[in-house]
Copies of this chain bind each other. A is one copy, B any other.
Amino acid sequence: MKKNGILNRELSYLIASMGHGDILSIVDSGFPISEDVFCVDLSLIAGKPKIVEIIIPLLEELEIEKVLIAEEIKMISPKYHQKLLSIFPKNVQIEYIPHEKFKDRVRESKGVVRTGEQTSYSSVILVGGVTYHGEKEEGL
């Protein structure tokens, strides 16, 4: 079996398919998910699993350069908002966009992971980064 990290098959495939700028969305249980997007439904019951429970192990294996969040989170779910910010490394840019735009961006996802989260405006878009810049000497 797989030794470490994320054990899930579909999620392992998704992580390995992500390219620079590709979008992986982690959404709450009531989020409307378009049929055209590949969905990994990890939801079990209300509150299980939470969005941060998915993102923390994801950040171990997936290089990201930016995070998109619905701006309404600041007003509606402030405590969750603070917890969410705490799990991202400093070098990752956090961008806030209106929820309507947020929903449009989720439709462009490489994949959507559905959770049991039941907090308003809690969904997160992870924008794929890239682990190399310029060229390595021995790379030639």
Residues of A within 8 A of B (CB): 1-13, 15-22, 29-33, 35, 38, 41-50, 53-54, 57, 60-63, 76-80, 83, 110, 116-120, 122, 128-137, 139-140
Contact = CB atoms under 8 A, between A and B. Distances in A.
A59 to B, nearest CB: 9
Given A139-B80, A140-B79, A18 B6 contact: no
Contacts of A42: 8, 42, 44
Nearest to A110: B35
Q: Kindly list the 3 A-B residue pairs having the minimum CB-CB distance in the complex, ordered from nearest.
A: A19-B32, A30-B130, A12-B16
Given A79-B140, A140-B83, A131 B8 contact: no
Given A12-B16, A19-B33, A46-B131, 19 more contacts: A1-B129, A1-B130, A1-B131, A2-B15, A2-B16, A2-B61, A4-B61, A7-B44, A8-B16, A9-B16, A19-B30, A30-B63, A44-B53, A44-B54, A78-B135, A80-B140, A117-B139, A120-B130, A122-B135
A110 B84 CA distance: 30
